[in-house]
Amino acid sequence: MGVVGACIAPHGAEVIPELAGKMLESFAETRKSMLKLAEEMKNLCPETIVLATPHNLRLDSTIGVITTESTEGCLEEGNKQIRLHCECDRHLAKEILKTAKQRNLPVVGVGYGSSDGPASCMPMDWGTLIPLWFLVGQNKAPAVVIVTPTREVPLKSLVDFGKAIAESAESLKRQIVFVASADQGHAHRLDGPYGFSPTSKEYDGMVVQAIRSNNMKPLLSLSPQFVEKAKPDSLWQIAILEGVLESVRMDAHLLSYQVPTYYGLLCAVFKEECRVTPRV
């Protein structure tokens, strides 16, 4: 019981065929890897998916832990729409909160709508919905816990938060997988919204190397100035992942990396070696 697997999953909407439009083929490599990633995680039979997203509530200097009964959202592109509803594991969410507070981490429980019942439903951001579209789909299981790291929190504290997640899962004997919802550098193209910086390519290369060497720690030593130039939205979720990996030894497997547009997309899975499905 406890953490049985983890992954880094991108959240570009074009990965989902219904939302891809003219970019369907451009995102084909990542889409294939997301299907593989989802298969690998589902084979571990998790009871709960704990997902860290950079696009939910942006709480100043505070990590949010969603404590609603459910979460629901939709995304639209042209005349196409996808919608997803998931039940939340409130028991695990509250255990994570308790454990994180015992570690003196800056965390807060986040409700929405009402304290109980159908209105206790957190709107899904795209950083949550897109990975869960593959990992959960319309199966209505497993349950989810959404956590919302913020960039003002030191990376060391986010690592400790990852340890709190692993400890909480072990304490409740809950079989979970952890998902770092993350896109990489966002300054790969001059015509993108963040302009061009060669640092995006350099940063992405470091993430790829960290996965290939099964060592995420070097990423935590990057200077804030370098990270700002690269413009990723991945480092903070990766820091939480590092805490999970320090608690539960797992091996990293890079599935794919591509840059079909102005930001990098990377898929990776982390599992105990004996649990890894052989690739042909």
User: What average pLDDT does the segment 186-204 reach?
Assistant: 98
C-alpha distance from residue 146 to each of 15, 150, 192, 252 (Å): 21, 13, 29, 23
264: which 2 tokens? 């990098």
Residue 74: strand pairing partners: 83
88 neighbors 66 (Cβ within 8 angstroms): yes
* Residue 280 is assigned to a structural domain of this protein: no
pLDDT of residue 78: 82
**pLDDT beyond 50 at 235:** yes
**Residue 275 confidence (pLDDT) above 80:** no
- Work out how many domains the chain is built from and give that number: 1
The predicted-structure confidence for 47-68, as pLDDT tens digits, reads as follows 999 999 999 999 999 999 999 9
127: Cα separation from own chain's centroid: 7
Distance of CA 179 to the CA centre of its chain: 4
Interior CA angle at 13 toward 278 and 130, to 5°? 60
pLDDT, position 277: 42
Q: What is the CATH number of the domain that holds 210?
A: 3.40.830.10
Mean pLDDT of 88-95: 98
Spatial separation of the C-alpha atoms in residues 146 and 48, rounded to whole Å: 10
Q: To 5 degrees, how large is the angle CA 267–CA 182–CA 189?
A: 90
- pLDDT bin (cut points 50, 70, 90) of residue 137 is confident
Closest CA to 65 of 90, 102, 29: 90
- For residues 257 and 253, give the distance between their C-alpha atoms in angstroms, rounded to a whole number: 12
* 87, pLDDT greater than 70: yes
CB 86 within 8 A of CB 176: no
Q: Residue 272: what pLDDT?
A: 84
Decide if 125 is inside a domain.
yes
pLDDT value for 234 = 98
The CA distances from residue 68 to 120, 190, 231, in Å, are: 5, 40, 31
Res. 230: pLDDT tops 90: yes
Token pair, residue 233, equals 């939205």
Instruction: Please give the residue range of the domain that contains residue 59.
Output: 2-273
Give the pLDDT confidence score for residue 280 in this predicted structure: 31
Which segment of 48-57, 131-140, 214-223, 232-241 scores lowest on mean pLDDT? 131-140
pLDDT score recorded for residue 103: 97
Quote the CA–CA distance of 205 and 158 in Å, as a whole number.
Answer: 22
pLDDT tens, position by position, 144-156: 999 999 999 999 9
Domain-embedded: residue 279? no
Q: Is residue 30 part of a domain?
A: yes
Tokens of 118: 């159908």
Instruction: Determine, yes or no, domain membership for 227.
Output: yes
In a domain, 25, yes or no: yes
Q: Let me know if residue 17 belongs to a domain.
A: yes
% of the chain surpassing 70 pLDDT: 96
Residue 278, in any domain of the structure: no
d(CA 245, CA 159): 9
Mean pLDDT across 224-243: 98
Q: pLDDT band for 274, please (50, 70, 90 cuts).
A: very low
Mean pLDDT of the chain: 95
Kindly tell me if the per-residue pLDDT of 140 is higher than 80.
Answer: no
Q: Is the pLDDT of residue 276 over 60?
A: no
